[in-house]
Structure 1
Amino acid sequence: MTLFLLFLVAIVAGIFNISAAGGSFVMLPLLIFYGLPPTVANGTNRISLLIQNWLGVYSFKKRNVWDFETNIKLVIPAILGSIIGAYYSSILPDNQFKKIISIFMIIFVIVSIFSNNKKKRFNYKIKSYPIVFFIFLLIGFYGGFIQAGVGLLLIAGIKLATGYDLVKTNAVKTFIIATYTIVAIAIFAYKGKINWSVAAVVATGQGIGGYLGAKLAVEKGEKYIKALILIAITIMALKLMLY
């Protein structure tokens, strides 16, 4: 596998991460196949996520899809959770982390397919902030620990907390990931779990994909986002069988 191929795949992964979810489940195995230890692949992947999500935030804000108050309320518990998650991820042995990736890939695919097969749509909204705080603390822990697939968890959590449509939900999701990733990167860098040269190549590709993903999400709307989620799930399922 070459760096150029990683760059091309990173663009696609960036589009998935911003406008749907699942891009990291494509990038993590590819970084491992490229030769990075699993925990280093996990840390290296965060650089591109930081850039693509901040570009996504800029793109959403430019199109007036922005809610500062909601962003702050939800990002605080997510940051706290990500600190704990990133720390524990950085100290795990590589063989254990590789097994955990496989397990979460299986769980994510099953849950995603199940949730997309529901015929009845629920519009329940959680009104208690302490409950919302706890939910986003757990999501932040998962995001700090492995990140891959956190997009769908955030989509579900944000919709429960706000009742937003998927376009506004993706805007909030993008801001939350962009913010807590700063903290996660600091932890992974301190532990020596980032390959900076590979990160630069992948980050460039995912940055381009992140900007395009936010643009497409706003212009194409909710149906387009749902289609991308289904595509992401299919890619993850195929990748799981080959892993």
Structure 2
Amino acid sequence: MTWWHAVVIFIAGLWAGTINTVVGSGTLVTFPVLVALGYSPLTATTSNAIGLAPGTVSGAIGYRQELKGYWPEVVKLAVASFFGAICGTILLLSLPKDAFETVVPALVGLAVVLVIVQPRVAAWVAKRREENGKVHKIGPLLLFLIFLIGIYGGYFTAAQGVMMVAVMGMLMSESLQRLNGVKNALSAVVNIVAGTIYAFIAPVSWPVVALLAVGSTIGGQLGAKIGRKLSPKVLRGVIVVVGVAAMVQLLLK
């Protein structure tokens, strides 16, 4: 790894950590960067999951005020994310490598679409809460959907946070800021579980992991403190452009 590769990966991790805390989908920054630098899609995915895990934890800590008094509910949802992430990692490691590389462009495309519609999801969640003050308890349907998202996150992490906010917004009446805090906590669970499994039995680039971990941890704190002041349109614009570029690159390989 050259020094400028290291700088690019660190900056990508920093930006991804910030984006993950505020919007989600930081993987759509780091994944294409790693692929562009010559790493295989599988190694990029596994190294990315491990490297961004500290950033998701950092972001969750940054949102601790929004989660104050709400941790019992977070734990219930985290159990579903935990088992979903295990299933997702097993799926990634069980399927042939060619199968993953074939489906990755479609997954990136799906993630880009989710990022584009994220503002509508956020507006819908906010409107629903204003119209319905009733607090819905966490039920089997929500737990099942969070489990499914955990499977997706364990397999390919991009835009899992957007999915989480969407389903929680449909089935819960909490504020958008609290939902974002829950999203960060659940994303941390998925990344830690997937990253731990990958660390032992999957191809991983540890220099990449180290650079992403440091960058994303700093980014997670930046996202929690100043992320709300950044223009969401700018953040989403960067994610969409990078995601589309990654999809094109993967299709042309």
Instruction: Indicate the TM-score class for this superposition, using the shorter chain for normalisation.
Output: 0.7 to 0.9
Q: CA RMSD in A?
A: 2.6
Question: Which residue is equivalent to 1:18?
Answer: 21
Letter in structure 2 aligned against 1:160: M
For the residue of structure 2 that corresponds to 1:41, the secondary structure is helix
Contact 2:62 2:221 (8 Å CA) reproduced: yes
Distance in 1 between residues matched to 2:113 and 2:102, nearest whole Å: 17
| 136-145 vs 160-169, which moves further | 160-169
Relative to the length of structure 1, the TM-score reads 0.86
Relative to the length of structure 2, the TM-score reads 0.83
Contact 1:37 1:94 (8 Å CA) reproduced: no
Matches within 5 A, 1:207-218: 207-217=217-227
Query: Is 1:233 matched with 2:234?
Result: no
Change (3 A) 1:166 1:242: farther
Deviation at 1:43, TM superposition (A): 1.1
Unaligned regions of 5+ residues in structure 2, if any?
A: 130-134
Percent identity of paired positions between Structure 1 and Structure 2: 26
Contact 1:56 1:211 (8 Å CA) reproduced: yes
Letter in structure 2 aligned against 1:198: V
Deviation at 1:239, TM superposition (A): 3.7
Question: Which residue is equivalent to 2:191?
Answer: 181
Deviation per CA, 1:94-129: give whole Å up to 9, x if none: 3322222210122232344346468x8362886560
Deviation per CA, 1:158-205: give whole Å up to 9, x if none: 222322333222211111111232221222122132221211012111
Deviation at 1:50, TM superposition (A): 1.3
Letter in structure 1 aligned against 2:108: M
Letter in structure 2 aligned against 1:57: A
Contact 1:90 1:193 (8 Å CA) reproduced: no
Matches within 5 A, 1:136-215: 136-215=146-225
Change (3 A) 1:111 1:197: closer
Query: Is 1:123 matched with 2:128?
Result: yes
Question: Which residue is equivalent to 1:100?
Answer: 103
For the residue of structure 1 that corresponds to 2:128, the secondary structure is coil
Change (3 A) 1:65 1:116: closer
Change (3 A) 1:136 1:207: same
Question: Which residue is equivalent to 1:76?
Answer: 79
Unaligned regions of 5+ residues in structure 1, if any?
A: none
Deviation per CA, 1:54-101: give whole Å up to 9, x if none: 11122222xx22120221121111111110101111233333222222
Question: Which residue is equivalent to 1:32?
Answer: 35
